[in-house]
Amino acid sequence: MFQLINTLLIGITSGAIYALMALSIVLVWRSTRVINFAQAGQALTSTFIGFQTLKYVDSFWIALLVAMIGGAIISALIEISLMRVLLKHSSSGAIAGVAPIIATLGLLEVIQAVITLIWGGADSIITPPLSNTGFTIGTNTLVFSPMKLAIIGIVAALLILLSLIVQKTSIGLSLRAAAFSPELARLAGVRVDAVRTMGWALSGATGAVAGLLLVANGNGSFSTASIEFSLLLISGFIAAVIGGLESLLGAVIGGLALGIITAFVLMYISDSLFFIAPFVILLLVLFIRPQGILGKKGGRRA
Amino acid sequence: MRKSSKKHSTQLSNKVRLLIFIVLGFLIYLLSNNVDELRVYQGAQVAFYVVGIASIILLTGYSGQVSLGQGALLGVGGYAAALSHLNWKLPIPLTFAVAILAAAGAGALLGIAAARLSGPYLAGATLALAVGLPSIANQFTALGGEQGLFFDVGFPPESLGEEFTQYKWFFWIASLATLIAIFWLQNVMRSRYGRTWKAIRGSEVAAELAGVNIARAKVLAFTLSAGLAGLAGALLAMTIGTVSPSAFPLALSFSLLTGAVLSGVTTLGGVMIGAVTLVALPEIVGTIVNRAGASEAVATNLPHIVMGTLLILTVVFVPNGPVEQMRSRRVKKEKSL
C-alpha cells in the first residue's frame, strides 16, 4: 500500500515535468503547425542560463525567472530567423511536410554543440532550492518532498496562467485565430507573424521551467550530454500526442498519465524498461485513439 | 509533363546501366590500390553511408514518409548479422542476407504501424523507437548487453597476398555490397512500384483514384527501405568489428537523415554527395581548426555546428537537393529559350 502511494507520487512529479514539456510543444504546434524537435535543446540552454545566473545571485527562483526570459528570447529569435524563412520557402516540394522537422533537428545539433562549446561537457550542479528529503508519516518516509510539492504547484500555476492567457486575453484570441486560419486572421487584422513569435516565446519560457525543474527534481547535476534531456523531448512529445497536440489541458493530462504509467511499469515490472515503456505507450495511444484523449477526429492529419 | 517525357527518352537501357556499374566497380578497385589505410577505411564508411542514405531516400523521397529511427533498423541488421555468424556459423554473405531479412521484417511491422500515421506523428514515433530499441539489447544476455557482440568477417583470403590489409578487405566487401544494392534499388525505382510511390508522393488522392492501394505501397516502401538499412547495419558492424547499443545511437539516425537531405531526397543521383560529406566534413573542419590552433573543444564541436547549419540551409534553400535543383534549373532554361 505504502509502495503504491510512493509510486503514484513519483509518477505525478515526473509527469508534471513531462506535462510542462508537452505544453511547450503544444504552444509551438498551435501557433505554427510545427513540431519543434529542438525544444529539449532549448530547455537545456535555458537551464544553463539559470545555472550561469546562480553564479551571480543566490536565489533559485530568480535564476528560474532569468532562465524563462532567456528561453523566451531564444525561442522567439528562432521563430523570427529560421521558421519564418523556412515556411515561406518550402511550402511546396517533395519534403515540404517534413522540412520543419528536419530543420529543427539540425537546430538541435547546432544548439547542443554550441552549449557544449560554452559550458563544456562536464557535469554542472544546480542545488535544488528546497529539501529533497521526503515527508515522514509515523515511521514511514514518503518519497514526497517539499521540492516535489513545489514542482507540482509550479506546473499547476503555469497551466492556469497559460490557459488564462490563451482563453481570456486578446493575445490568446489572436493566437487561436492565427492557428485556426492564418489567412482569415490576417484579413481580420491579426498580425499573424507577431502572434506566432509570441507563441514561440511562451513555449520557450515554459520549456525553460521544465528544464530547471527536471534538474531540481533529480540530484541537481546535469550536463550537455544528459540522457534526461533526450528523454524529456520524447516524453514531452508523447505526452503532447496523448493529449491530442491541440489542447493545453490535454497536454497536462497526457504528461501526468505518461508519468504515472511509467512509474508503475518501472516499479512493478522492471526498471530496465525505462526507455522502451514510453514508446509502447505511444504506439498504444496511436492505435487506439490516434487523435489523442482530447483531440478531435481528423486532427491527426493536420 | 514535358519534363517526364524528356526523361524517358534519355533513360539508359538496363545493359548500359549494368556496364556503368561494372566500370564503377573497376574504378573503385583501382582506387583501393592507390590510397593509404585511412582513406580505405573512410571509403568503407562512405559505402555504408551510401546504403543507409539510399534507404532514407527510398522512404522519404519516394513515398513521402519520414523516419527518424533508421538507426534502430540498422541496429536490427547489425545484430542479426552478428548473431547468425556467432550462433549458426553462417558464411559472411549469408549473414548479410539474414541482416537484410531481419531488418525488412522489423520494417514491415513498423510500416504497418506507420501507414496509420503521418508527418509529425510518424517522426515522433520513429524517434521514440530510435531511443528505445537499442536499450532492449541491454535486456538480453544473448545480445551481449552493454558490451555487445563481436562481428568478425575474418582476414582477407591469402590468395590476395600478404600486403592486402584488413581495412582494404572491408572496403572491397562494402563497395561490392553497395554497388549491388544501389543497382537493385535503381531497378526498383524504375519498376511499377517506383512509379506507384512517385504517384503517391505527387498526390495521395489522385493515386488512390487511379487504383493504387496506398497503405500497401507505403508498407512495401517501409519494408524495402528497412532491408537496405539492415544491410547498412551489417556493413557498419563489419567495419567496427562489434555490435553494441552504443554503436547505433540516436545521432546515427540523425546523421543518415542529414546525409539524405544533403544528397537530395527526391533522387538517387546525389547519394554520394551526402555520404562523402558525412565522412569528409568532420575531418576537413578538424584540419582547419587545428591549423588555426584552436582548442580541443572547438575541434570537437565545430563540425556539429557546421553540419547542423548546412542541414538547415539545405532544407531552407535547396529543399530538393543539389542534383534536382540543377536539373530543374536546366529545364527552366530550356523552356525560356
What's the rounded mean pLDDT across residues A218-246? 82
CB contact under 8 A, A95 and B138: no
pTM as predicted: 0.84
pLDDT at position A90 over 60: yes
Closest residue of A to B123, CA-based?
A101
* Chain A CB within 8 Å of residue B198 CB: no
- Neighboring chain A residues of B64 at a CB cutoff of 8 Å: 94, 97
SS3 content of chain A, % helix, strand, coil (to 5): 75, 5, 25
pLDDT score, position B1: 39
pLDDT at position A280 over 60: yes
* Chain A CB within 8 Å of residue B325 CB: no
- Neighboring chain A residues of B308 at a CB cutoff of 8 Å: 106-110, 113
**What gap in Å lies between CA A144 and CA A291, rounded to an integer?**
34
pLDDT score, position A92: 62
Please answer whether residues A21 and A255 qualify as being in contact, where contact means their C-beta atoms are separated by less than 8 angstroms.
yes
Chain B closest CA to A136's CA: distance in Å?
A: 35
Helix (H) or strand (E) holding B150: strand B149-150
Low-confidence winner among A91-95, A211-215, B120-124, B300-304 (lowest mean pLDDT): A91-95
pLDDT at position A161 over 80: yes
pLDDT score, position A94: 61
- Neighboring chain B residues of A93 at a CB cutoff of 8 Å: 319-320
CB contact under 8 A, B320 and A95: yes
pLDDT score, position A202: 92
What's the rounded mean pLDDT across residues A261-272? 83
pLDDT score, position A292: 65
* Chain A CB within 8 Å of residue B59 CB: no
pLDDT score, position A291: 65
Mutate to test the interface with B, among A25, A105, A272 (most CBs of B within 10 A): A105
Closest by Cβ to A241, choosing from B116, B121, B131: B121
| H helices present in B92-165, as ranges | 92-114, 119-136
CB contact under 8 A, B304 and A112: yes
Closest residue of B to A120, CA-based?
B297
**What gap in Å lies between CA B55 and CA A89, rounded to an integer?**
26
**CB neighbourhood size of B175 (10 A):** 22
**Grid coordinates given for A129:** 532550492
* Chain A CB within 8 Å of residue B129 CB: yes
Please answer whether residues A211 and A222 qualify as being in contact, where contact means their C-beta atoms are separated by less than 8 angstroms.
no
**Grid coordinates given for A271:** 526498471
Closest by Cβ to B257, choosing from A29, A102, A301: A102
Closest by Cβ to B301, choosing from A117, A238, A279: A117
Greater pLDDT, A131 or A239: A239
Please answer whether residues B62 and B201 qualify as being in contact, where contact means their C-beta atoms are separated by less than 8 angstroms.
yes
**CB neighbourhood size of A100 (10 A):** 26
**What gap in Å lies between CA A29 and CA B267, rounded to an integer?**
30
Instruction: Give the three-class secondary structure for B157.
Output: coil
Mutate to test the interface with A, among B257, B312, B324, B325 (most CBs of A within 10 A): B312
- Neighboring chain B residues of A282 at a CB cutoff of 8 Å: 124-125, 128
CB contact under 8 A, A113 and B304: yes
State which amino acid sits at residue A229: F
pLDDT score, position A95: 67
What are the distances in angstroms from CA A293 to CA A30, A34, A58, B192? 17, 20, 42, 40
Closest residue of B to A97, CA-based?
B119
Please answer whether residues A124 and A131 qualify as being in contact, where contact means their C-beta atoms are separated by less than 8 angstroms.
no
Distance of CA A130 to the CA centre of its chain: 22
CA angle at B19 for the pair B13 and B22, rounded to the nearest 5°? 145
- Neighboring chain B residues of A112 at a CB cutoff of 8 Å: 304
CB contact under 8 A, A102 and B298: no
pLDDT at position A76 over 90: yes
pLDDT band at A295 (very low <50, low <70, confident <90, very high): low
Closest residue of B to A113, CA-based?
B301
pLDDT at position A179 over 70: yes
What are the distances in angstroms from CA B126 to CA A34, A208, B69, B70, B214? 17, 26, 5, 8, 20
Question: What are residue A124's DSSP bridge partners?
Answer: A222
* Chain A CB within 8 Å of residue B70 CB: no
Instruction: Give the three-class secondary structure for A137.
Output: strand
Greater pLDDT, A70 or B282: A70
pLDDT score, position A178: 82
pLDDT score, position B9: 44
β-pairing, A136-137 with A124-125? unpaired
* Chain A CB within 8 Å of residue B308 CB: yes
- Neighboring chain A residues of B69 at a CB cutoff of 8 Å: none
pLDDT score, position B11: 62
What are the distances in angstroms from CA B250 to CA A87, A279, B72, B74? 26, 14, 8, 11
Rg (CA), chain B: 20
> Dihedrals φ, ψ of B163, to 5°?
-70, -20
Low-confidence winner among A11-25, A114-128, B20-34 (lowest mean pLDDT): B20-34
Closest residue of A to B312, CA-based?
A103
Q: In a structure prediction context, what are the per-residue pLDDT tens digits for chain B, which is 337 residues long?
A: 344 444 444 566 777 778 887 888 778 777 777 777 778 888 888 888 999 999 998 888 777 778 888 888 998 998 888 888 888 888 888 888 888 999 999 989 888 877 777 777 788 888 888 877 777 777 777 777 777 777 777 777 767 766 677 777 788 888 888 888 888 888 888 888 888 888 887 777 888 888 888 888 888 988 999 999 999 999 888 888 888 888 888 888 888 888 888 888 878 888 888 888 888 888 888 888 888 877 777 877 888 888 889 888 888 888 777 777 777 778 877 777 6
Distance of CA A197 to the CA centre of its chain: 17
pLDDT at position A70 over 90: yes
Helix (H) or strand (E) holding A268: helix A248-268
CB contact under 8 A, A103 and B138: no
Chain B closest CA to A131's CA: distance in Å?
A: 32
Closest residue of B to A227, CA-based?
B131
| Residue B225: closest CA among B21, B80, B51 | B51
Distance of CA A149 to the CA centre of its chain: 19
Q: What is the mean pLDDT of chain A?
A: 84
Residues contacting B146, CB < 8 A, separation 6+ = B138, B244, B245, B246
CB contact under 8 A, A37 and B301: no
Mutate to test the interface with B, among A39, A80, A95 (most CBs of B within 10 A): A95
- Neighboring chain B residues of A238 at a CB cutoff of 8 Å: 124, 128
β-pairing, A124-125 with A221-222? antiparallel
